[in-house]
Amino acid sequence: MNFRQITIGGMAAMALFAAAADAKPKKPATPPPPPPPPPPAYVYIPWKPIPPEWASPTLAYKPLGPDGVRLSPNRGISPAQALWNLRSGYNVAALNCRGPQHTEIVVGYRAFLKAHAKTLRATNAKVDAEFRAKHGSGFVKHREKFMTEVYNHFAIPPVQPAFCNAALAMSKDAKLVKSANLQAFAASALPSMEIVFDDFYKRYDQYKVEMAAWEAKWGKYAVPGAKVLASAVPFNIPPASAPVAATSP
């Protein structure tokens, strides 16, 4: 065996050794560390819906009737009662609508009472008779209760600006009415004033829908304008027992 053969044999042996080494299982590489968790997500709680005309958020009022029309002391009443309610609404307007743009109302109301005094006395007596026929000898308390409802209806504060405008328009129309046509006038004028209340309560119904949606998303006890953890929403636990919502530094 010469030197060349020895060298070739050695190289072959080394190649076999290297191949054998490569055939051994390799140790798996260490995986990279997981990424850090994302930072906590924060949200700003939006402001609550606002009641129309800045009315109380707990305002109590009559619902819609089965016919889809709002229940009201100005609906479903006799012609005599409608005229008396119109007079009552006119009275409320004369007392409450004191802006310079509504000064005609007081003047018109005084003229209305004077021009139609006889008809209004007869109407008052007719309304008394209707309540007596319905409630017997104790009719007075029933009539007083009903008329209190009528006055309160006309005097609800959030509707006063629109009511005063409607009353002003009515007072201008009333100047041309003869006593013989007063009930017919009331039959059209009273609904014209009632429209402003229907409009307000319709908008208040919509506010209640929007408020319910806000509470469903953010929680009854959520604080508008607060920056809170998104995971803490909604806030439906009373503040006294609720954990304090985390806020960012």
8 Å CB contact between 221 and 205: no
Domain of residue 111 covers 52-217
Going by their DSSP bridges, the two strands 227-229 and 42-44 should be labelled as antiparallel
| C-alpha span between 197 and 180 (Å, rounded) | 28
Average pLDDT on 119-145 reads: 98
Say which residue the tokens 């508008």 belong to.
Answer: 224
Residue 240 has pLDDT above 70, yes or no: no
In a domain, 203, yes or no: yes
The rounded mean pLDDT for the chain is 90
Asked whether residue 168 is domain-assigned, the answer is yes
Instruction: Tell me: pLDDT of 201 over 50.
Output: yes
pLDDT band at 3 (very low <50, low <70, confident <90, very high): very low
Token pair for 199? 């409009």
Backbone angles phi, psi at 231, to 5 degrees: -70, -15
Tell whether 144 is covered by a domain. yes
Residue 32 lies inside a defined structural domain of this protein: no
Q: Would you say residue 82 lies in a domain?
A: yes
Supply the pLDDT for residue 6: 46
Going by pLDDT thresholds of 50, 70 and 90, the confidence category of residue 12 is low
Residue 169 resides in a domain: yes
Number of structural domains (the chain) is: 1
Does 42 reside within a domain? no
What pLDDT digit, counting tens, does each position of 74-117 carry?
Answer: 999 999 999 999 999 999 999 999 999 999 999 999 999 999 99
Distance CA 72, CA 196 (A): 12
Structural tokens at position 167 = 């009353």
Q: Is residue 173 in some structural domain?
A: yes
Q: Work out the pLDDT band at 238, boundaries 50, 70, 90.
A: confident
Q: How far apart are CA 125 and CA 119, in angstroms?
A: 10
